[in-house]
Amino acid sequence: MPPKIAIVEEGGFPVDIGGVSTWVKELVQGLKDFEFTVVTITTREKTNFMFKVPKGIEVKVHVLFSRKWRTKGNPMAFRDVASSLKELFLGEGIRLERLVSSTIKTDPTSFLSSREFWFMAKNVYEELDLKEGFIEFAYGLARIFHPILESIMLGGELKGFDLIHSANAGLAGLVGSAAKVKWGIPLVITEHGSFLRELDIWLERAEEKVWLKELLRKVMNSVVKTNYLYADVIASVSESLMRNQIRLGVPREKLLLIRNGIDASRYGKRSRVGSSGSQKDFRSQSWSRFEENFVEAAKAHSEECEEVLVVTISRVDKVKGIDLLARAAALVLSSGMKLNFEVIGPISDRKYMEEILSLIRELRISKYFKILGTTDVKKALSKADIFVLPSRSEGCPFALLEAMATGLPIIGTDVGGVPEVLGDAGILVRPEPKEIALAIEKLAKDAELRRKLGKNARERVLSNFQLEEMINSYRNLYLSLVGEKKWSSSA
C-alpha cells in the first residue's frame, strides 16, 4: 500500500475556488504514488463541489458547529481542558498533550456548558477587568473556543495516516498538531499567506467588540505558534513568509522553501488585444439569485465595451484589495482614459461585496468596472490586456503565476511573496489606489511596454515556477518523513 497522506484545509478543494484549492488539486493529481484524503473544514452546512474529485481521492467535509460528538466528558477532563485553554491567552505556543488527551474525552458543547468552563471564564473576566457584562463575555469566549476544540477532536480521529499536511497554521494546523500528539503522525504545514496578517485584516472589519477581537487575536497567535512547535517541517511558499515565521520563533532548520508552480503549457494563448469581447457562462451554479442577477447585468455591459481590458483573478475579499482596484479605476477613468476593469473570482465575503457595489456606484464607474464571478480562468486571462494584483497580503499567488504564464503585463502590490514572484518582469506598487492607477495608465498608454513585460513574465514563470519542480519537492519531503523503508515495502 502507498503511504497515506491527509491534507487538512479550511475551505479550499473541492468546495471553494482559489489558490489553496489549486494547490491541493495539483498535489493530489501530481503525486499518484501516494494515497490522499482531503479533510476540508467549513462553516457552511450545504456545500457544492466546485472541482471534479480525481479517482481514488477521498474527501471528508467537516462542518463546524454542526456535529454531535459521541463523547460527553467528565468533570476531571473539563478541568484539564479549562486549564489548558486559559494558557492560550498568553499569546505564546503551549504544550498540547494534556489538552488533546482531555479534549477527546469530552465534546465541545458539553464542555462549554460545564461549571468548569464558566469558572474559567469568570476568572479571566476578573483578570481583564472588563466593563462588559459577564454573560456576554462568556458567550464570546465560547465562540472562540468551540472551533478550537472541534479541531482537536477532528485531529484525534485521523488515525492510520502516515503523514498530515495542513494547508495553514490556523485551525487546519491545529488538526494536524492534535493528530501528531495523539497518534505520533509526522506533520507538515504549508502557509500560503500570513495567517495572522490576514486575521488582522479580517478583524478590522469584523463587527465585534474590541475586547473580543483582542482575545481572538491572542488566542490565534498562540494557536499558530503552537502549530509551529509541533510541525516537523514548515514548507514556506516564499522567502517573505519564511522571514515572518522566523520572527515568530520558528527555528530556521525547520523551514523549507517550496514555491508554488504551474504547468505553463496550459496558458499563453491570447485571444484579443484591446477588446473585452463577450463573457459567457460566468456563473457558479451555487450562487444566490442576487449574485446571478448582478453577473447578468455585468455581462451585458461588458459586451458593449471595446477598450483596453484590465483584469484581476481574485476572490472578493478585503485581503485581495478589490476596493483598492476600484478606487484606482476611478482615478484612471477620471483622467479621460476609457479602460474596462473585470474582477474574476468567487464572492467569499458577502458584506464586503455589498460594500464594493456601493463603492462602484459612489465612484460612478459602474459602466466600466465589473465583478463577473467564477469562470474559466484561462479564457478570462486570454481576453485581458493588463493584469493587476491589488492584494494587501499574499504568499506565492497562483493567480499571478497564471497571468504571467499567459504573457500578460503585470502590476502587483509589494506585499508578501509578490516581489519574489514578479521580479523585474512587472511593475511593483504599494497597495494604494494612486500608485496602482499610475501604473495602469503607464501600461495602457504603451503597447510596446505591455508586450515586453508580458514576454518577460512568461519567461520568468518558465524558468522559476514550474509545476513539476513543486510536485517533486513535495514528493521528496513526504518520503523523507514517511521513511524510505515503508515506501519501498509498499511499492
Q: What is the pLDDT of residue 276?
A: 37
Chain mean pLDDT for the chain: 89
Q: Tell me if 384 sits within 8 A of 375, measured CB to CB.
A: no
**What is the value of pTM for the model shown?**
0.89
The residue ranking higher by pLDDT, 289 or 86, is 86
Q: What is the C-alpha to C-alpha distance for residues 164 and 246, in angstroms, rounded to an integer? A: 22
Assign a CATH topology to domain 264-465: Rossmann fold (3.40.50)
The terminus-to-terminus CA distance of the chain in angstroms comes to 7
- Given this chain, do its domains 4-261+472-480 and 264-465 carry the same CATH topology? yes
pLDDT value at 293 more than 70 = no
Share of the chain above pLDDT 90, in %: 73
Mean pLDDT within 253-274? 83
Read off the pLDDT of residues 245-259 as tens digits, 9 standing for 90 and up.
999 999 999 999 999
Which residue, among 454, 466, 276, has the nearest Cα to 369 in the 3D structure?
A: 276
For the ranges 341-350, 357-366, 461-470, the lowest mean pLDDT is seen at 341-350
Q: What residue segments make up the domains of the chain, in order of their start?
A: 4-261+472-480, 264-465
201-238 exposure pattern, b = at least 16 Cβ within 10 A, e = fewer: bbbeeeeeeebbbebbebbbbbbbbbbbbbbbbbbbbb
Helices marked H in 191-259 — which ranges?
195-205, 210-230, 239-247
Rounded mean pLDDT of 384-397?
96
Residues 6 or more apart in contact with residue 375 via CB below 8 angstroms: 279, 281, 282, 344
pLDDT value at 295 more than 60: no
d(CA 325, CA 294): 19
Q: Look at the domain 4-261+472-480 and name its fold.
A: Rossmann fold (3.40.50)
Q: What is the pLDDT of residues 144-188, one digit of tens each?
A: 999 999 999 999 999 999 999 999 999 999 999 999 999 999 999
pLDDT digits (tens, 9 = 90+) for 80-125: 999 999 999 888 999 999 999 998 888 888 899 999 999 999 999 9
- Does the pLDDT at position 277 exceed 50? no
pLDDT digits (tens, 9 = 90+) for 195-227: 999 999 999 988 888 999 999 999 999 999 999
User: Is 400 a residue whose pLDDT tops 50?
Assistant: yes
